[in-house]
A and B are shown apart, each in its own frame.
Chain A
Amino acid sequence: MGRLKSPGELATLRQAILAKRDPNRPCITVCSGTGCSAYGSEKVFATFEAALSPLKGKIDLRRTGCHGFCERGTMVVIYPDEVCYVQVQPEDVPAIVASVRNGKILERLLYVDPVTGKKITLEPEIPFYRNQQRLIFGNNRRIDPQSIEDYIALGGYDALAKALNGMTPEQIVGEIKKSNLRGRGGAGFPTGTKWETVRNAPGEPKYVIVNCDEGDPGAYMDRSLMEGNPHSVLEGLVIGAYAIGSHEGFIYIRNEYPLAVENVGIALRQAEEYGLLGENILGSGFNLKVVINRGGGAFVCGESTALMASLEGQVGEPRAKYIHTAVSGLWEKPSCLNNVETFANVPLIITNGADWYRGIGTERSKGTKIFSLVGKVNNTGLVEVPMGTTLREIIYNIGGGIREGKRFKAVQTGGPSGGMIPEQHLDLPIDFDELTRVGSMMGSGGMIVMDESTCMVDIARYFISFLEEESCGKCVPCREGLLHMREILDDICEGRGKPGDIEVMMRLSATMKDAALCALGQTAPNPVLSSIHYFKDEYEAHINEKRCPAKVCKALITYSIIDEKCPGCGICVKNCPQEAIESQGKKKPAVIHSENCVRCGICYDVCRLDAIEVE
């Protein structure tokens, strides 16, 4: 494949690719995202490969990116009808191949809707997908992430051709500004304004950077996009570089994401080979060189100045932003840093126009947003919805409600420095401003659902100790504030809480908000403040009554055996690491000696008769 020298050559190539493909020929696709890989999708794929080798030209096989419905992996979808099989094992392969050949549906592998009990044949009809609008994420399931031709076949790099051929950089900046695209990394800063600032800032060279240091625990949409459709991000990056006048780009990826690093590396090589990157892109005279940098495992490096320090080979500490990185960033040059999802939005806006884009979403937040819906919800996975969708729609219509019929307690959004949102706000339309209004934030789009068995004080302690560990330690309010807050929360969880603790934490929070150097420290008190605001009764039960209502905090609970339910099978006796459970013989209930019990919960896990009680 020679380098493409004009938009016309790209169109010709697309036609040639499409001509080779018969849209009616069956194609079996296997999800190979990290979730499905963990279920063993590689084995499923290899088994298909072997089974289909005598059927070359009759049935195609394709590896795809993450479909988002990770709960039910390994996912197999068969085109052209999009018949969807869930939880596929290598043993199922011969039956699936046979069903494709004879045109019948393999009933036993279909998805069963837990609400109605009905079997659903086609992927788009599964409620989890049906209630989404997948503009950014939709192509993940249609393409092989390691094939640039798959991406081009679906219209890929058309936006780039349009931008380089018919638009001036100023027009592109104008279009992005008009679209009102806001940064998907969390802060929601208007992307067009940032691009304009970098473009007009004095100093050469200018840099463009993709932020894929997705450090928020519980969020993995950037990873799935980078793994599943890397060219869409790359296309947005090249358009962005052209718009601001940059010839050097960086992609900063967490090292914990090896598959993303691999797929992006392949995408870069392919784009270069096809003339979509490097010198004289599509014959336009525009040049861009892009390199990958792997993060070192520091949460704070998602912050722009810390990320840039790390790119320079230094310790990833943030600096005060008296001068924005758009003016003086990497090596003190104007630098444009955007999140993965932000860049993936750009080709859509260029292709369809800002007016189309403005038609989606709410007044001040346009477009769609990908959320990672995780925790105690039935359908865990990645969910893309227009801005303004309510929490209830996401958790109940798409997520299928709470697991095991338990009661919803709260949803945590915005990552460790976001906040807890209780039941009373379930009908909140989600966008950047509404989430801030109720004391949380958009963040990168993590959405962790919690039920009645989640202790809010324990969760606040979890986030604060996470942030304490990830605080770089440069400024005092963050370093010391988090330490003290964590100590107080430890005390409360371990039964040493005292009246006044809540007030001290509120004072510490106020100081941190005002005085911390970067966004990590300024937003760090959010989990504490929002949990105190909405769940003060739980704090008070811990402090005043030495009681954990959710039965989570170890020091405040005891395990015992419900005599009527225990047949004396002895499985808990065998599994107890402390030898704290004594058998009284067969058919007689066992006894837990609480003085030896470390409250590890193993007996509760292994008992099949629910005969262990926590109080």
Chain B
Amino acid sequence: MDKQVKAILKKYDNRKEFLISILQDVQAIHHYLPREALQQISDALGIPMSRIYSVATFFKAFSLEPRGKHLINVCVGTACHVRGSVKVLESIEREIGIKPGETDSGLKFSLDAVNCLGCCALGPVMVVDGAYHGKLSTAKAVEILKACD
């Protein structure tokens, strides 16, 4: 049994209605939802695994696969789109060799395309490990990723 997961469940009093919050907290620790953790949540809350899976696969915030060391979110919201985020995303895909939603085999990068990060004035924008990078060009985006170890 995972102690961290147990602590999260306790924080929410084992209440069913907090399932999504609980999954978010687990995801924040592991960067994904390990099967064992889901089983533990299922047992504690009395929610069948099938329903937990339906929630975990419905919301974009959740991943059932392990994620890479560096999380890249490229904004493809409308404001970024009209300012050329498609080109930026494509150059990132070429650089690290994966598509949005994927993680590379070395677990170094996970790439996601997200809809609007809410700082449209800076478009095109991407967030790498929580740090915002704005006014990107294809070259600048690639440079930022090259600097990740």
Contacts and interface: CB of A to CB of B under 8 A. Distances in A.
B119 A298 contact: no
Interface residues of B, number: 45
Contacts of B149: none
Given A575-B139, A600-B90, A310 B20 contact: yes
A297 B90 contact: no
A601 B138 contact: yes
Interface string A522-557: 000000000000000000000000000000000000
A296 interface: yes
B76 to A, nearest CB: 8
Contacts of B55: 296, 313-315
A375 interface: yes
Interface string A63-103: 00000001101000000000000000000000000000000
Interface string A546-583: 00000000000000000000000000000101000000
A446 interface: yes
B67 interface: no
* B contact patch SS: helix
Nearest to A603: B138
Contact of B78 (A71, A296, A314, A375): A375
Contact of A255 (B54, B61, B139): B61
B114 interface: yes
Contacts of B77: 217-218
B82 A296 contact: no
B73 to A, nearest CB: 9
Nearest to B60: A297
Interface in A316-334: 316-317
B121 interface: yes
Contacts of B132: 34, 37-38
Contact of B116 (A71, A216, A575): A216
A311 B55 CA distance: 12
Interface in B92-144: 94, 114-123, 125, 132-134, 137-139
B19 interface: yes
A38 B122 contact: yes
Contacts of B125: 38
Contacts of B94: 577, 600
Given A296-B62, A313-B18, A70 B122 contact: yes
Interface string B1-43: 0000000000000001111110110000000000000000000
Given A293-B21, A448-B82, A600-B87, A606 B121 contact: no
B79 interface: yes
Contacts of B123: 374
Contacts, number: 147
Q: Which of B61, B77, B90 has the most CB of A within 10 A?
A: B77
A459 interface: yes
A223 B118 contact: yes
A195 interface: no
A305 interface: no
Contact of A606 (B58, B117, B139): B139
A450 B137 contact: no
Interface string A224-240: 10000000000000000
Contact of A220 (B21, B54, B118): B118
Nearest to A601: B87
Contacts of B87: 600-602, 605
B16 A313 contact: yes
A600 B122 contact: no
A73 B125 CA distance: 15
Nearest to A258: B130
A454 interface: yes
A381 B118 CA distance: 11
Given A34-B118, A34-B132, A297 B138 contact: no
A372 interface: yes
A215 interface: yes
Nearest to B80: A217
A298 B60 contact: yes
Contacts of B76: 217
A462 interface: yes
Contact of B120 (A220, A257, A466): A220
A404 to B, nearest CB: 12
A441 interface: no
Nearest to A224: B118
A191 B133 CA distance: 39
B116 A70 contact: no
A299 interface: yes
Given A296-B24, A313-B19, A315-B58, A218 B120 contact: yes
B61 A296 contact: yes
A450 B82 contact: yes
B78 A312 contact: no
B133 A38 contact: yes
Interface in A17-38: 34-35, 37-38
Interface in A404-426: 412, 416
B69 interface: no
Nearest to B122: A38
A376 interface: yes
Contacts of A374: 78-79, 120-121, 123
A514 to B, nearest CB: 26
Contacts of B91: 577, 600, 602
Interface in A274-314: 293-299, 310-314
A446 B60 contact: no
A446 B80 CA distance: 13
A315 B114 CA distance: 20
A299 B61 CA distance: 12
A35 B19 contact: no
A214 B119 CA distance: 13
Interface in A440-499: 446, 448, 450, 454, 459, 462-463, 466, 470, 472
Given A34-B132, A70-B122, A375 B79 contact: yes
Given A255-B24, A315-B58, A462-B78, A602 B139 contact: yes
Interface of B: 16-21, 23-24, 54-55, 58-62, 76-84, 87, 90-91, 94, 114-123, 125, 132-134, 137-139
23 contacts: A34-B119, A35-B121, A39-B122, A73-B121, A217-B115, A218-B77, A218-B79, A223-B118, A296-B59, A297-B59, A297-B114, A298-B59, A313-B18, A313-B55, A316-B58, A372-B120, A375-B78, A375-B82, A380-B120, A448-B78, A466-B115, A577-B94, A606-B139
Sorted nearest first, the 3 A-B pairs with minimum C-beta distance are A296-B59, A217-B77, A70-B121
Given A37-B132, A450-B82, A459-B78, 12 more contacts: A35-B121, A38-B119, A38-B125, A39-B134, A217-B115, A218-B79, A219-B116, A295-B59, A296-B23, A376-B83, A602-B87, A605-B87
